[in-house]
Amino acid sequence: MTETIKTDVLIIGAGPVGLFAVFELGLLDMKAHLIDILDRPGGQCAELYPEKPIYDIPAIPFITGQGLVDALMAQIKPFGPTFHFGEMVETVERIGDPLFRVRTDRGKEFEAKVVVIAAGGGSFQPKKPPMPGIEAYEGRSVHYAVRRMEDFRGRRILVVGGGDSALDWTLNLAPLAGRLTLLHRRDAFRAAPDSVNKMRALVANGSIDLLVGQVTALEGGDGQLSAAVVKHDDGSSTTVGCDAMLPFFGLTMKLGPVANWGIALHEGELIPVDTAAFETSVPGIFAIGDINWYPGKLKLILSGFHEVALMTQKAHRYIYPEKRLVFQYTTSSTSLQKKLGVA
Ligand SMILES: Cc1cc2nc3c(=O)[nH]c(=O)nc-3n(C[C@H](O)[C@H](O)[C@H](O)COP(=O)(O)OP(=O)(O)OC[C@H]3O[C@@H](n4cnc5c(N)ncnc54)[C@H](O)[C@@H]3O)c2cc1C
């Protein structure tokens, strides 16, 4: 039986807004767990534009997407949040007043007094490559994400793609693969130059293979892949023996399961909230960041940060109904500074 994880606040989504929520909640003694489908924190900033500079974070003239995520992770460290990566929240059920049971697609169960939906544009979903018959292998030998590296030990792996994910997983899996082949449609890569250099060094010393071309057919049976047929630009073909194929063709965003949680939606894809506390139609469930809607809403990181501060005040009433909340500044409150570990 799965053990239920109990927490004050459960945050769905570890994008910049979900991360900053940990900070504001922590200052008011509320503990948080965060769940994200991705394998790391940062949401859109880390996944879509890690190296692009952002110029409109107040008082920071410029910072890259990943830089902002790293800074947020440092800022929330004193509050020791627990992250559950590689898990998608599938169901949110009200079981008390307020108390919620939340379940993920990997079977984890949580009980939280407050749920904060910081799910951004919704769930990132892999773009599927146009390969005939690929569905028959999905989940068993075709994977769009690596959840446990050990599952790939000793296997003949075909990584397909030329971006950061394809290159990162090529480098990470190469030491434990039986044999690894990287396939891209051209001999130029969009990934970080350092990763490309490392990959080329592995090819040069014979540790991995690099192929240029496109998969035109898959061979195998009963969900188990045995080979992929690769067509090259000159019209020739190569058959690559493989037990596992990892296509990394980028991600799209879909609202996903949020639509089924019994919360009123705006135009079918955003969650309407009040602007005093950013609470949804269900008391105790809040929605902050890109996922919410109210008149005048701007999908900006700074708007999400403001929403976090107000959400926290109301969440406190659910978690500590008997306690009066005293407004304090971090500059002058010794008690807040103690929580931050600086006094
Ligand atoms: C190219 C680009 C450039 C941008 N530049 C700027 C800029 O300069 N300034 C600015 O202010 N904003 C910018 N933005 C917008 C900014 O990135 C977003 O406003 C911000 O990321 C929203 O943060 P968030 O935490 O609400 O959501 P997100 O960053 O979208 O994070 C949401 C997280 O929730 C997770 N999630 C969703 N559903 C589930 C589920 N069911 N279970 C578990 N996890 C789930 C997702 O995997 C994701 O990690 C830019 C966006 C893009 C794409």
- Among 9-13, 57-61, 100-104, 255-259, the range scoring the smallest mean pLDDT is 255-259
Q: Cβ(287) to ligand 1 under 6 A?
A: no
Percent of the chain with pLDDT over 90: 83
Q: Tell me, what's the pLDDT at 1? A: 55
Is 335 a residue whose pLDDT tops 70?
yes
- Mean pLDDT across the chain, nearest whole number? 94
For residue 12, report the distance from its CA to the centre of ligand 1, in Å.
12
* In 39-159, alpha helices (H): 43-47, 65-76
CA-based end-to-end distance of the chain:
43
Nearest residue (CA) to ligand 1, atom 1: 49
197 closest CA partner among 158, 171, 217: 171
> How would residue 48 be classed by pLDDT, with cut points 50, 70 and 90?
confident
Across the range 181-197, mean pLDDT stands at 95
Q: Please answer whether residues 168 and 197 qualify as being in contact, where contact means their C-beta atoms are separated by less than 8 angstroms.
A: no
204-231 pLDDT, tens digit per residue, is 999 999 999 999 999 999 999 999 999 9
For residue 21, report the distance from its CA to the centre of ligand 1, in Å.
14
Across the range 165-183, mean pLDDT stands at 96
Q: Tell me, what's the pLDDT at 340? A: 96
Q: Cβ(10) to ligand 1 under 6 A?
A: no
> How would residue 91 be classed by pLDDT, with cut points 50, 70 and 90?
very high
> How would residue 250 be classed by pLDDT, with cut points 50, 70 and 90?
confident
Q: Tell me, what's the pLDDT at 131? A: 85
- What the block records as the tokens of 192 is 């970080």
E-assigned strand segments in the chain: 4-12, 32-36, 53-54, 63-64, 82-85, 89-96, 99-104, 109-117, 123-126, 156-160, 179-184, 209-212, 214-221, 224-231, 237-241, 244-247, 251-254, 271-272, 285-287, 292-293
For residue 265, report the distance from its CA to the centre of ligand 1, in Å.
19
Nearest residue (CA) to ligand 1, atom 26: 289
